[in-house]
Amino acid sequence: MTQEKQTEKKVWIDGKLFNIEDAKVSVFDHGLLYGDGVFEGIRSYSGRIFEFQAHIDRLYTSARVIRLEIPMTPESLKDAVKLTCKTNGIVDGYIRLVVTRGVGSLGISPFGCKTASVIIIADSIKLYPQELYEKGMKVISASTIRNHPQAIPPQVKSLNYLNNVLAKIEAIDSNVLEAIMYNSQGYVAEATGDNVFIIKNGTIYTPPIQAGALDGITRAVIMKIARENGIEAIEKNLTRFDLYTADEFFLTGTGAEVIGIIDMDGRKIGSGQPGPITLMLREKFFKYAHNSGE
Ligand code: PXG
């Protein structure tokens, strides 16, 4: 057997590990038919799973809101994630946890679906090219808005990402890689898979979750690190004016980590380079990430 064969990638589905080519779900799964399900994206740093409990808690919270019962305890799910990481030799990597409504008949009602399916993929992710982490990234304003709070709440990390997909397409059509999404009132909500931060006169501002953002786990870590370093971090409704006129601007997320924004809608942000507070927070974030986790 070759070395490669021994480290062949496996995907965990409902209690079993499958080779990639056999890791499949039914066409009658309501996750596919209706986008009915929830997910999490988690990173592993230096062989430890970053903010593991926070991600597990958010998954179960998202599931509760859509009345989806995850057919295993949080503890057994964590064990399954650890097993999948170990099996795939993950040290610095990315874990995608997906819970679908499961197999049912055609028709929207979820109540004919017997049990939810749980899928764990342990792989790697690179959201943006390395060069943009050093030089900073350009963004545009998306015309596609985040969901109205009386639709599926934006705090639910659901399998319906089409608003975000459309905003991402707008970005790519404009020759940039990320778009800022607004809410139905015109306030800044977040990017397509990242939370928004600006710095003005030495203070950090980020939109409140109620503005239509996911309650980002990286966001919470960054606010904690900022405060520990004597920087005030305030949740406040922001408009595009606030972003255009920020001294510094950055995005955070499990995929994105921390990335400086240097241009928005053709306006140069700050000095046109990732700012000093952004760079300091980024460095402290990685230090923390590689020295925590479980
Ligand atoms: N907002 C949205 C809509 C997200 O999907 C974040 C904010 C950041 O939250 P966390 O908890 O990760 O700090 C996310 C997370 C991908 C990818 O494949 C997307 C995310 C995370 C990991 C990978 O594009 N989004």
From ligand 1's centre to the CA of 217, what distance in Å?
Answer: 9
- Per residue in 49-93, pLDDT (tens digit) is 999 999 999 999 999 999 999 999 999 999 999 999 999 999 999
- Reported as type and span, the H/E element at residue 248 is strand 248-253
Q: Is residue 142 very low, low, confident or very high in pLDDT (cuts 50, 70, 90)? A: very high
- Distance from the alpha carbon of residue 255 to the mean position of ligand 1, in angstroms: 6
Q: Is the pLDDT of residue 4 over 90?
A: no
Residue of 40, 209, 214 to mutate, ligand 1, most atoms within 8 A of C-beta: 214
Q: Between the CA atoms of 130, 131, 135 and 139, what dihedral angle is there, to the nearest 10 degrees?
A: -80
By most ligand atoms within 8 Å of CB, the mutation choice from 254, 258, 281, 288 for ligand 1 is: 254
Domains of the chain by range and CATH? 3-123 (3.30.470.10), 130-289 (3.20.10.10)
For residue range 227-275, list pLDDT tens digits in order: 999 999 999 999 999 999 999 999 999 999 999 999 999 999 999 999 9
Q: What is the pLDDT of residues 256-266, one digit of tens each?
A: 999 999 999 99
CA angle 52, 12, 213 (to 5 degrees): 40
Cβ-contact 218, 253 below 8 angstroms:
yes
| Mean pLDDT score, 28-52 | 98
5 is catalytic: no
As beta bridge partners, residue 234 has 205
What is d(CA 112, CA 31) in angstroms, rounded to the nearest whole number?
13
pLDDT at 277: 98
Mean of per-residue pLDDT scores for the chain: 96
Average pLDDT over residues 128-134: 95
Using the atom order of ligand 1, give the atom closest to the CA of residue 221: 13
Report the residue count for the chain: 294
Q: Is the CB of 136 under 6 A from ligand 1?
A: no
Cβ partners under 8 Å of residue 269, min gap 6: 243, 244, 246, 248, 249, 261, 262, 263
- Structure confidence by residue, pLDDT tens digits, 97-128: 999 999 999 999 999 999 999 999 999 999 99
Cβ(218) to ligand 1 under 6 A? yes
Give 7's pLDDT tier (boundaries 50, 70, 90): low
